Structure 1
Amino acid sequence: MVLKVGLVSLGCPKNLVDSEVMLGLIKDAGYEVTGSEQEADILVVNTCSFINDAKEESIKTIFEMARHKDEGSCRVLLVTGCLAQRYPRQLLNEIPEIDGLIGTGALPGITAAIRQALAGERVLMVNEPGHLNTGANPRLLATPAYSAYLKIAEGCDNRCSYCTIPQVRGPYKSRTIEDVISEAAGLARQGVKELILVAQDTTRYGIDLYGEPALDDLLLGLDRVEELVWLRLLYTYPTLFSDKLIQALASTGKLCRYLDLPLQHAADTVLRRMNRRVGIQEITRLLEKLRGAIPGLTLRTSFIVGFPGETEDEFQELLDFMTKIKFERVGIFAYSREEGTPAAAMPGQVPEEVKLARRDKAMALQKNISMEINQGKIGEEISVLVERRRNKKLRVYEGRSEGDAPDIDGKVIFKSSKDLEPGSFVRVLIKSASPYDLEGELVT
């Protein structure tokens, strides 16, 4: 009898790529991959531990999957990823239902861990972080067939004072340009039309291999993959943005006019405490240069409020910056105190209620900015990637513009007089707008 394996992937798209590689290895080893947790003989939870909420979700999911040992077919429960890397002994000691742990540096051992756990062994595969997936690894996509993430590097060297990523993912390691392009071409042959490049810091790509950042060369190479329609960049940092890179961003025909640029704050005093290496004046000049080079650019960023020592004046600097720049997309996060980080030991920890109040105030400001920007799009005709039919009777569809990354940004909702296939590209005339979504109709 072929054993069935189910996998639950938590956290960021980078973690999802790891999950897809594990699924590919599992399938190649002769197991059947199932989406039914109730029917699975082996369950794998690929965890996140970035902030407290993510850790709590991971623990909750582990206990939910453990119930299938009593209520379903589960014989083995394995926990992988960042939480396993960070807290291996605690998890084994405190959750006896776990049959094995695989850290971020040992993910290729997933099938061996399954075999050992089935034989009755309690598995602990947690060593140094830093495993780098390559295009040679099998991969089973968990995203829609027309869109996929492509991880171009592993680990991080930035050492932001609030972040545990270097601890759980190791130092920055880039894949070669040839390897990334080879995998991209293979995904395109499978029908992928949108490739989303991810890493902890995509701007740093190649510096460890080539002695200087090489994201520009990578983008120009990927632009020549014929079957691809869209390329999208996530997790670019404001450091290492050279004129050469900006020129490549502007000239790469398939690159969406969309840039995810996490800035984290806008007060220099806070940025220094965060160990961010670029000041707000330099950031402002970069944003102006990017918008000048790429007309119609959608800028997405994220900010942390309530960082240790953040004063009302520093918070107001952030609000003023948001008002001045008018980002198209913003995520606001309340600071999460992570053990083992320099920020956790800093004086002036901000009370939770103050952090949440500041988050809500910043999000309310951004909602007004987003509404103003979206209303300015009424009357425009835009390209949309069709994702699904929302209403069969009324032929209402939803999709994404080049300014919308999957799962984090808004949607384009539109009416069509004809049937459309997911993964197709259409032109939509925008008729109305909300702070996060656009509505319109198909241009025939």
Structure 2
Amino acid sequence: MSKLKVGVVNLGCDKNRIDSEIIIGNLKEKYEIVNEPEEADVILINTCGFIETSKQESIDTILEMAKYKENNKCKVLVATGCLTQRYGQELLELIPELDIILGVNDYDKLNEAIEKALEKGEKSCYTNYSDSNINIGKRTVTTGGITAYIRISEGCNYQCAYCAIPKIRGKYRSRTIEDIVAEAKELAINGYKELILVAQDTTNYGIDIYGGQKLHMLLQELSKIKSIKWIRVLYCYAEELTEEIINEFASNEKVCNYVDIPVQHISDDILKAMKRRGRKKIILENIKKLREAIPNVVLRTSIIVGFPGETEENFQELLDFVKEVNFDKLGVFKYSQEEGTAAAEMENQIEEEVKEERYHRLMTLQQKISAEVNKKKVGRIYEVLIEEKENGEYIGRSYEMSPEIDGEIFIKCDKIINMGEFINVNIVDALEYDLVGKIVDNMDK
């Protein structure tokens, strides 16, 4: 008898991706995993519920996948992730096509819930809150055979006024260095060459189990794995960057000179209203330290515009900050009024058209900065990780580019290049976000 088929649709951040990979790893022994939803007997949507746009995308995707139940091929529809952790039973009632709701701490109940749905038609809803659980386990990595994400901690201790993550994911809790290194070694054995470390806040890794920030020690241990070439660190709090962390970034040859510091804003008035720990002075000081310690560092940030009470003066201060720092990469989000957060109750909400206008002003500025930054790369030689080939062109990334969120390098080449190979590329042209290159020298690694 053939196995039932399961299709998994992942939405949201890299941490969600890891959860989906664990889910697939747990399911694949019993079920056949398929990529096309029309082939699936069971469809699972791993949702995001961080801001309004991501919630809407999650609901739209659930409704889209529900259509596959109409032809009787799909027998069970499952929703999990941050949206379901927030709205659990309410979602089950609002979308009758759903059979199973799982929160972010209940993936171990999935097999049993599927059996109940298939055999008895029973619906299930599990949305347990946890301050101790960290989702780990046998994963099926979905990013190809080159790059893999590793979650180094779960949850968050901060109570930023706009953010519901602590209520969804619980308090900050780190994995041990030994556990993370063991997972990284397994990935290396399977051919992975780039590790991307993720958490709600990577800079505070270890504070709960080691009594202090130990990201630098974790990086030292991971860099001992011979076949790992790049280690990339995302989601660093600018105000939490210690001398030890900065020095490790600067001295460790395997750590990409790429620092992701989502500052969200720079006006002290807004940062205070957001309940962010950092202030303008320390953020600017640490950016200066990063650039002094690592002259070729690439800085990425994310910004929120339209937070309650943001005046035109506050926004102008933000524009001036972006001009001054000249971020290599920058993402902009319009503030989303999320129920259950402190900011949602603030009286001085910003009109949607004002948020939209400020979003476009900031993105227009960053487009100009990005184009100028990229022009300066023409004539430089980068070591590039080749990831795919499309329309006769090879596509890859340098250390300056994180997958899926930054640009790519397009290379025309008649030679055969293996996926996962590192090659030297001379940049011959610059686009707004992407680059065009020509092979200089093949570097088999």
**Equivalent position of 2:381 in the other structure:** 381
Output the CA distance in 2 between the equivalents of 1:300 and 1:72.
Answer: 46
TM-score under structure 1 length normalisation: 0.97
Deviation at 1:27, TM superposition (A): 1.1
Matched position secondary structure for 1:272: helix
1:38–1:72 CA contact under 8 A, matched in 2: no
AA aligned opposite 1:168:
I
Is the aligned partner of 1:425 residue 2:410? no
2:88–2:126 CA contact under 8 A, matched in 1: no
Matched position secondary structure for 2:59: helix
AA aligned opposite 2:269:
T
Matched position secondary structure for 2:37: coil
Distance 1:43 1:354, change over 3 A: same
1:328–1:370 CA contact under 8 A, matched in 2: yes
For residues 323-357 of structure 1, the C-alpha deviation after alignment (integer angstroms, 9 at most, x for no partner) is 11100000011111101100011121111011011
Q: How does 1:22-421 map to 2 (within 5 A)?
A: 22-28=23-29, 30-71=30-71, 73-119=73-119, 120-130=121-131, 131-134=133-136, 137-392=137-392, 396-421=393-418
AA aligned opposite 1:422:
M
Output the CA distance in 1 between the equivalents of 2:265 and 2:409.
Answer: 29
Output the CA distance in 2 between the equivalents of 1:234 and 1:162.
Answer: 20
AA aligned opposite 2:289:
K
**Equivalent position of 1:440 in the other structure:** 437
For residues 370-399 of structure 1, the C-alpha deviation after alignment (integer angstroms, 9 at most, x for no partner) is 11111111110001111111223xxx2111
TM-score under structure 2 length normalisation: 0.97
Matched position secondary structure for 1:207: coil
Deviation at 1:72, TM superposition (A): 5.3
AA aligned opposite 2:134:
L
Any stretches of 5+ residues in structure 2 without a counterpart?
A: none
Matched position secondary structure for 2:390: strand
Output the CA distance in 2 between the equivalents of 1:308 and 1:40.
Answer: 44
Matched position secondary structure for 2:278: coil
AA aligned opposite 1:433:
A
For residues 245-285 of structure 1, the C-alpha deviation after alignment (integer angstroms, 9 at most, x for no partner) is 11111121111110111000011100000001111111000
Output the CA distance in 2 between the equivalents of 1:419 and 1:249.
Answer: 34
Percent of aligned positions that are identical = 47
When structure 1 is superposed on structure 2, of 71-80 and 317-326 the one drifting more is 71-80
Deviation at 1:92, TM superposition (A): 1.2
2:238–2:287 CA contact under 8 A, matched in 1: no
Output the CA distance in 2 between the equivalents of 1:113 and 1:258.
Answer: 42
For residues 353-376 of structure 1, the C-alpha deviation after alignment (integer angstroms, 9 at most, x for no partner) is 110110000011111111111111
1:213–1:240 CA contact under 8 A, matched in 2: no
Is the aligned partner of 1:16 residue 2:13? no
AA aligned opposite 1:261:
I
Output the CA distance in 2 between the equivalents of 1:178 and 1:113.
Answer: 33
Aligned length: 438
AA aligned opposite 1:196:
I
Matched position secondary structure for 2:46: strand
AA aligned opposite 2:340:
G
Matched position secondary structure for 1:67: helix
Output the CA distance in 2 between the equivalents of 1:36 and 1:350.
Answer: 41
Output the CA distance in 1 between the equivalents of 2:111 and 2:402.
Answer: 32
Deviation at 1:129, TM superposition (A): 3.5
Deviation at 1:94, TM superposition (A): 0.9
